[in-house]
């Protein structure tokens, strides 16, 4: 089965074609792999059309959709009714769902009605969160009426990091208490107990949790209410600030962690503070995931920062020695993308870096939706 995979993130659109079924799909990418920026709808449509023309016919397309809400907890074949329901969820992830659905609509029109379209959801990996982890301490009537709960995100990435991290460490998934760290423009952690997500840092929307490129992560809800109730910010200004002007951008004025690291090394006090806030939140959140698991056997890094920033990995590991996390400095420094084990020999906690392959998870989701 040949699947076109479309991965719409907050800052780019990644395209690939995966050939083969099951484990054979991991043998590689057929055709080309392409990453498009966010140049606008017309340019994105042109880029999609060129890519589809280059790779030729496919049996299905599989699309990453960040927020599936309470309705979508597994991959689904998209028909017109499903598409309308997906549109209703756009307000829950305004930075992610709308561009993903734009790409989905474009691919459907380019491939035609005979090629099935499958939506795969980042929230699906967390759909089975224990009630204690998923439930907010809000009025029960609110939660029941509006589906308020911790949904969690980056599920496709966390699933692959879990499976591939276990393979790299030579351990079966069902024998591991593992913390998966997806760090990029958006960042989240997941506590995975023998293959099952039991806690995660993002909540009802992808704004919660860790410090990110333009999102703040966890913020006192009383502060947010105060800003609006006192008229200091309108709801629209608050939403825009939380989505686009917070995180590293709010602290240091830049969104790329590499720029923050460079400026901090050069003595920029603002950049140093941004790094300290980022690392402090990261270490604390990893420890919280370990508490949810009752211990830790493996720590896995993935995503743009998780894969490519030995500085961030070292800063986190340095504060986690009490948990048994011990990283080999040379192996960590050498690992700047791709798969690698970076824990010290005989360390109690295995530490691995996993190259993100959401395309393989998307392709597997398409096969599941279409063939069971």
- Rounded to an integer, what distance in angstroms lies between the CA atom of residue 307 and that of residue 352? 10
- Rounded to an integer, what distance in angstroms lies between the CA atom of residue 130 and that of residue 53? 45
- Rounded to an integer, what distance in angstroms lies between the CA atom of residue 372 and that of residue 369? 6
In the Cβ-directed half-sphere of 40, how many Cα atoms lie within 13 Å?
A: 2
Instruction: Measure Cα distances from 260 to 104, 250, 273, 353 in Å.
Output: 34, 12, 10, 22
| Catalytic residue status for 122 | yes
Long-range residue pairs from 39-43, CB within 8 A, at least 24 positions apart, any chain:
41/102
Tokens of 332: 């960590």
Tokens of 33: 């792999």
Name the E strands within the chain.
Answer: 2-8, 13-19, 29-36, 60-65, 76-77, 117-121, 177-182, 188-193, 196-200, 298-302, 340-341, 350-353
Q: Are 310 and 336 in contact (CB under 8 A)?
A: yes
Catalytic entry in 122, 208, 297, 359: 122
Burial class of 210 by CB neighbour count within 10 A (0 to 12, 13 to 18, 19+)? buried
**Residue 31 phi, psi dihedral angles, 5° rounding:** 70, -130
- Rounded to an integer, what distance in angstroms lies between the CA atom of residue 158 and that of residue 230? 39
- Rounded to an integer, what distance in angstroms lies between the CA atom of residue 372 and that of residue 367? 7
Task: Order across the sheet with 298-302: list the strands.
Answer: 196-200, 188-193, 177-182, 298-302, 350-353, 340-341
Tokens of 299: 């720590």
Q: Are 329 and 343 in contact (CB under 8 A)?
A: no
**Residue 369, H or E segment:** helix 358-371
Residues constituting the chain: 372
Residues designated as active site: 122
């Amino acid at each position: 089965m040949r699947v076109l995979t479309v991965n719409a993130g907050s800052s780019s659109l990644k395209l690939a074609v995966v050939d083969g079924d099951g484990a054979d799909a991991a043998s590689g990418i057929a055709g080309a792999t392409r990453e498009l920026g966010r140049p606008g709808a017309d340019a994105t449509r042109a880029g999609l059309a060129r890519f589809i023309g280059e790779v030729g016919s496919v049996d299905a397309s599989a699309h990453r959709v960040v927020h599936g809400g309470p309705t979508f907890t597994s991959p689904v074949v998209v028909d017109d009714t499903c598409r309308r329901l997906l549109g209703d969820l756009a307000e829950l992830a305004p930075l992610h769902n709308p561009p993903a659905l734009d790409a989905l609509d474009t691919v459907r029109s380019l491939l035609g009605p005979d090629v099935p379209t499958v939506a795969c959801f980042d929230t699906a990996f967390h759909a089975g969160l224990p009630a204690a982890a998923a439930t907010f301490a809000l009025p029960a009537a609110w939660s029941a009426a509006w589906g308020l709960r911790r949904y969690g995100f980056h599920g496709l990435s966390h699933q692959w990091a879990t499976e591939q991290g276990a393979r790299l460490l030579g351990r079966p998934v069902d024998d591991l208490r593992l913390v998966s760290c997806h760090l990029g423009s958006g960042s989240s952690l997941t506590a995975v107990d023998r293959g099952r997500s039991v806690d995660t840092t993002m909540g009802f929307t992808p704004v919660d949790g860790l410090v990110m490129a333009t999102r703040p992560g966890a913020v006192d809800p009383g502060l947010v209410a105060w800003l609006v109730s006192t008229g200091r910010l309108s709801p629209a200004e608050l939403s825009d600030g939380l989505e686009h002007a917070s995180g590293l951008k709010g602290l240091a004025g830049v969104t790329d962690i590499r720029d923050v690291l460079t400026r901090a090394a050069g003595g920029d006090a603002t950049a140093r503070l941004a790094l300290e806030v980022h690392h402090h939140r990261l270490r604390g959140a990893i420890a919280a995931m370990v508490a949810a698991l009752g211990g830790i056997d493996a720590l896995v890094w993935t995503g743009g920062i998780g894969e490519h920033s030995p500085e961030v990995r070292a800063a986190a590991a340095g504060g986690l020695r009490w948990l048994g996390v011990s990283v080999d400095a040379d192996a960590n420094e050498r690992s700047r993308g791709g798969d690698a084990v970076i824990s010290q020999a005989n360390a109690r906690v295995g530490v691995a870096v996993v190259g993100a392959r959401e395309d393989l998870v998307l392709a597997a989701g398409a096969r599941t939706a279409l063939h069971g």
